[in-house]
A and B are shown apart, each in its own frame.
Chain A
Amino acid sequence: MLLIECPYCGPRAEIEFSYGGEAHIDRPGPEVSEEEWASFLYLRENTKGVLAERWRHAHGCGRFFNALRDTRTDEFKAFYEMGEKRPDAEKKEGEGA
């Protein structure tokens, strides 16, 4: 089970959280092409490496936040609040997939 650090409550067991999928996705406006709309709806990063993702502390404070996690090891690299930029730290490692 993952140990997840809620920025508001601290480290808690994974069963307290629900997964929110890829972070930092902007909803496009109605003017975009079908390809862009389809990619907003259905294409997600499936990175083998460092992935930016959302979690929600569903059985705690109820708030959403972001995390960086290496999908090859499941090791978390960072936890940060919604609206914050992706911490650049491990960018290099995230490449390759």
Chain B
Amino acid sequence: MQKFSAFSLARQALGRHLGWTPQWRSVAPKPSYDAIIVGGGGHGLGTAYYLAKQHGLRNIAVVEKGWLAGGNTARNTTIIRSNYLFEQSSSYYEHALKLWETLSEELNYNVMFSQRGCLMIAHTVHDVQVFKRHVYANRLNGIDNEWMTPEEAKAFCPPLNISPNIRYPVLGASLQRRAGTARHDAVAWGFARAASDMGVDIIENCEVTGIDRDAAGNVTGVQTTRGPIRSKKVGVSAAGHSSVVLGMAGIRLPLQVNPLQALVSEPVKPAFPCVVMSNTIHAYISQSDKGEMVIGAGTDSYVSYTQRGGMHVPAHTLEAICELVPDFRRLRMLRSWGGITDNTPDRSPITAKTSVPGLYVNCGWGTGGFKATPGAANLFAWTIARDEPHPINAPFTIERFRDGALIDEAAAAAVAH
């Protein structure tokens, strides 16, 4: 692996940049592996990386039906934060946030993690109550979050309109200063490069079409469009297609998929200093390093596997944003797209063993799993390697729905992010 540094950049510049080599090996599947990860998004690639790095497994394949990280990893608005309400969730998301803080160094890859702060705007009395409750709960759990008056919010984010006369006035905001954004592609590429370097095979254009089991029911491998591959451990990290893949082993998951849309504006000079989220108007905004305003809209209401949704959903968001940030009225929108988000009834994920020995699943991240990428990958790798969950992901089982032990973040995550 070519190490990236100022020195290597200078050396390559002298060679007119003709000396760079591919960042990961392109390989055909081998007949068998110690572990197979289904899904080459950030979560799946990260899982392979931590399996190799921390659990000593090297004979691992990541199989991806399309191209690397072309799913929700490539489609999300990259907001990273850990200010969730319940202890179980905040410790999971905080585990991820801590890993984000050192990820660029760990991978020798600039994932452009920027802790520019995330303001969550309250527009109603109920928002104010809920967000204050979050601030207190987070602080008790040792997670930074603070309450701001409208004036303080405007001082932190000057483009905000805090006039009391708009349709959704700003009544206050909570601010997590350690929250921010990262570069979605870089996370996937960084994990892929580091995993490949440790011997992990990354196999694109290879769709899993079946899960093989022996007479006792144990997993023995997968069927793919590039032939069968044997393995006693299969970890599924297929986001929007989790129900489809687990269905191949007869497992029903408590998931429903909905389209979630986002859009970006033309690039402009730095004009928006932080992340702003509003649950009430279903909006979340940040400015990318390229200069585009990145805007997330609400979820379409119906189950769908199409990576698109109705135009009225982003239109609703944009109407409200034009009032909240009047400067944006003159921006032209360049592109919009959708992703398939896998939502659980309590809006918390599943990172767990399944009822089939050797089959593991990490799913249900729905509209908000980018922020968890290194944390989920790290804990999923632990779960697969040891055949038991880490204490942090132990509550995030499939069985919690049967047992009534929900982790109900729906109030916090009623909007997509």
Contact = CB atoms under 8 A, between A and B. Distances in A.
A41 B401 CA distance: 9
A41 B312 CA distance: 30
Nearest to B344: A42
B335 interface: no
A1 interface: yes
Interface string A43-71: 11011100101000000000000000101
Contacts of B252: 39, 43
A42 B345 contact: yes
Instruction: Report, as a range, how many residues of chain B touch the other chain.
Output: 20 to 34
A43 B246 CA distance: 14
A74 to B, nearest CB: 5
Contact of B305 (A15, A34, A42, A71): A71
B244 A48 contact: yes
A18 B301 CA distance: 8
Given A38-B401, A48-B244, A71 B303 contact: yes
Instruction: Report, as a range, how many residues of chain A touch the other chain.
Output: 20 to 34
A46 B310 contact: no
A31 interface: no
Contacts of A21: 256
A42 B312 contact: no
B255 interface: yes
A39 to B, nearest CB: 7
Contacts of A41: 345, 401
Given A35-B402, A38-B401, A41-B401, A73 B247 contact: no
Interface string B285-314: 000000000000000011111100011100
A78 interface: no
B70 interface: no
B255 A1 contact: no
A90 interface: no
B254 A73 contact: no
A47 B256 CA distance: 9
A1 B312 contact: yes
A19 B254 contact: no
Q: Which of B253, B256, B304 has the most CB of A within 10 A?
A: B304
Contact of B255 (A46, A69, A74): A46
A2 interface: yes
B37 interface: no
Contacts of B305: 48, 71-72
Interface in A1-32: 1-2, 14-15, 18-19, 21
B281 interface: no
A14 B310 contact: yes
B243 A97 contact: yes
A2 B403 CA distance: 37
A39 B305 CA distance: 22
Interface of B: 241, 243-244, 247, 252-257, 301-306, 310-312, 345, 401-403
21 contacts: A1-B312, A19-B301, A41-B401, A42-B254, A42-B345, A43-B252, A43-B254, A43-B401, A44-B254, A44-B256, A46-B243, A46-B303, A48-B241, A48-B305, A51-B303, A53-B302, A53-B303, A73-B306, A74-B302, A74-B306, A97-B247
List the 8 closest pairs (A to B, CB-CB), nearest first: A19-B301, A38-B402, A1-B310, A46-B243, A42-B401, A42-B254, A42-B345, A97-B244
Given A2-B310, A44-B254, A44-B256, 14 more contacts: A1-B312, A15-B312, A34-B403, A38-B401, A41-B345, A43-B252, A43-B254, A46-B255, A46-B257, A48-B244, A48-B305, A69-B302, A71-B303, A71-B305
